[in-house]
Amino acid sequence: MTKNNLASEAFISSLSEQNSNIDRSDSKVALVTGGTAGIGAAISTALLKAGYKVAANYRSHTAVAEEFSKNTSIKTFAWDVSDYASCVVGVSQVLDSLGPIDLLVNNAGITRDVMLHNMSPEQWREVIETDLTSCFNMCSCVVKGMRDRRYGRIINISSINALSGQAGQTNYAAAKAGIIGFTKSLALESASRNITVNVIAPGYTDTAMVSAVPANVMENILKKIPVGRLNTPSEVASCVVFLASDDARVITGTTMSVNGGMHLN
Ligand code: NDP
């Protein structure tokens, strides 16, 4: 575990007591997919700190989710965002528990890195369904309610590699680039209803996903980041808080890069 991960764990641990006593009855409701680990956990806790009632979704790591919930008082909900029927059930549980969803952050994502000539149809399908189809599944479950209430914020987490391409990631880059076109189109459909839809494209960020990258590969990646280091998860989370805020109400359909200058679009 790196120093940044330890720092965010210490921050998360300090949240439980201070948050359980706050009256959030008038607060906006945020739903963060993949919201119990890595960047998603930082987003969930930053939104909690900003005053939201937060629901954090995850798929399978129940022990991680229970620990996260214990340390933050954030409610967690398990379902697979790549499965439409599970999203319908999961979103209705969040509605019953916290009320109408004002902010959706589509953060859940996976990688299955392998060169195309060795990629199986399963590795292609898994990434497309988890990283891209999930955005359709989740947005279609919440956007109607947002339209009816004439308010909403949707933030989709893409990746630097959607913009730059990356060997070994044809599946991931295709899914993450698909998110950008999806976002622009939904933004155009939604603007008149006071709903903004934006993308954040993080560069390499200090989470478990990046810990899986071999050390020699990471050394080369670091040489290519002008600021000379990885993002921290909380730096990505701060951008979510901004795009969700009233100050960002005129920003829609855009892609915000958070990558230390590694790729300039
Ligand atoms: P992590 O692997 O640390 O966490 C991923 C989270 O997503 C976990 O909570 C996991 O839950 C959840 N998740 C995965 N699949 C599903 C699913 N089918 N249904 C519900 N939840 C699911 O990832 P990161 O924090 O590193 O990445 C978060 C997002 O940021 C991803 O979309 C990723 O592509 C993107 N990103 C990350 C970068 C990085 O350098 N870390 C760079 C650019 C983009 P569980 O553990 O229970 O399965």
Of 217 and 25, the structure prediction assigns the larger pLDDT to 217
Reported residue count of the chain is 265
What would the pLDDT profile of 5-15 be if each residue is shown by its tens digit? 555 555 555 56
CATH code of the domain containing 21: 3.40.50.720
In order of 57, 66, 106, 178, 239, the CA distances from 130 in angstroms are: 13, 22, 10, 12, 23
Q: Which atom in ligand 1 lies closest to the alpha carbon of residue 81?
A: 19
- Residues spanned by the domain of 21: 3-257
Q: In angstroms, what is the span from residue 264 Cα to ligand 1's centroid?
A: 24
Q: What is the pTM of this model?
A: 0.94
- Is 262 domain-assigned? no
Round to whole Å and give the CA distance between 147 and 140: 11
Q: Which of 12, 68, 78, 15 is nearest to 37 (CA)?
A: 68
| 265: in domain | no
Number of domains in the chain: 1
Nearest CA residue ID for atom 44, ligand 1: 159
The residue-averaged pLDDT of 133-160 equals 98
* 3-state class (DSSP) for residue 128: helix
**Mean pLDDT across the chain:** 94
Q: Specify the ligand 1 atom closest to the Cα of 129.
A: 18
Could you list the beta-strand ranges (E) of the chain: 29-32, 53-58, 75-78, 103-106, 152-157, 195-202, 255-258
* pLDDT range class, residue 210, cuts 50, 70, 90: confident
Which 3 state secondary structure label does DSSP give 168? coil
The catalytic residues are: 172
**How far is ligand 1, taken at its centre, from the CA of residue 107, in Å?**
6
Direct distance between the N- and C-terminal alpha carbons of the chain, in angstroms, rounded to an integer: 31
Question: Would 90 be classed as within a structural domain?
Answer: yes
148 in any annotated domain: yes
pLDDT confidence bin for 176, thresholds 50/70/90: very high
What average pLDDT does this structure show over 93-109? 98
Any domain includes 26: yes
The predicted-structure confidence for 86-97, as pLDDT tens digits, reads as follows: 999 999 999 999
1 with 203: CB under 8 angstroms?
Answer: no
Confirm whether 264 is domain-assigned.
no
Statement: residue 1 has pLDDT above 50 = no
